[in-house]
Amino acid sequence: MDLFAKKLLAWFALHGRKQLPWQNPRSAYFVWVSEIMLQQTQVTTVIDYFNKFIRRFPHIKALAESSLDEILLYWAGLGYYSRAKNLHRCAQIIHHDYNGQFPNEVSILQTLPGIGPSTAGALVAQAFDQFAVILDGNVKRVLCRYHAVAGDLNNRDTVNTLWQYATQHTPHQQLADYTQAIMDLGALICTRSKPKCTDCPLAKSCIAWQTKRVVDFPQKKPTRILPKRTGIFLLFIHANREILMEQQAARGIWANLWSLPSITSIKELRENYSKQLTNKKTLPTIQHRFTHFQLTLNPILINVHTKKSISSKANQRWVALDQLHTLGLPAPIKKLLMSLE
């Protein structure tokens, strides 16, 4: 075991996180669900979602036999909804092809939906305490600074270099503790901004700290102005009791979730819903930021006297207001609907 791992494990014994819900018990199923949720999402956000998810789907069989709609209901708000779809598909494969038991080999795990090299490594190390290497965002940041690795983190050569360092430092004992330790160091000490270098157990041998260049690593991405998109969302409400909801296509940012019918222009509104416009009301706009763009939602509330006056499509249905909580809703749509109460 090299000095890097020894110092990290000593720090973890005193300061590491040991009471996260997926650590008790540290089963393969718990670790897997948490790792998928933690992709692109912080621990503080994931904890509540994880607890609710596990209460409803306590084991792989329950998840595999549930509908995607119900899984999305418990995932709504976490974003990156393809993760939930992959979780469902993977659960079905594990349940049917592996008798409900997770493989303990990285190479096999990587063939399953939604599991990449780092997630597979985390699963093998955390659940089975076997040698496996991880390289998530926190680990990349720690290694970039420790070894002063220049270059864009999206560059293949840079990532390959980091994988080499990650493999070099990963010990062959205490794998579960070590992988949690290096993730914790990145999340708690070697943070993206304002890192607590004076509290870091690796500071004395960290090149970035010793050369006073911590702010230079990892290489910052050029500032990018997010493109803006606008959508007009129609909130058809009948007798103040039911709302017309529309399930989204299987692909897209809100894949398979339930949203509101939307149009691209006021002209389209006039052409298709001229009879209902006497009962319309424009609601305050809602801003929502995605990874790749900024969305402005322009909601229009339209009171409907009879549901037959709206020709609904196959992917639409009227839902009672007190039943909206049973649908998987995108965060901004949920925010909008809650504002009606």
What type of residue is 190?
Answer: C
Number of helices and strands in the chain (H, E): 14, 8
- CA dist., res. 235 & res. 240, Å (int): 11
What type of residue is 77?
Answer: G
Residue 99 token pair: 């008798």
CA atoms within 13 A on the CB side of 62: 11
83 touches 68 (CB < 8 A): no
CA atoms within 13 A on the CB side of 210: 9
Residue 232 CB coordination number (10 Å): 19
- CA dist., res. 275 & res. 283, Å (int): 19
194 touches 188 (CB < 8 A): no
What residues are labeled active site? 35
Residue 325 token pair: 């909580």
Residue 60 token pair: 């792989």
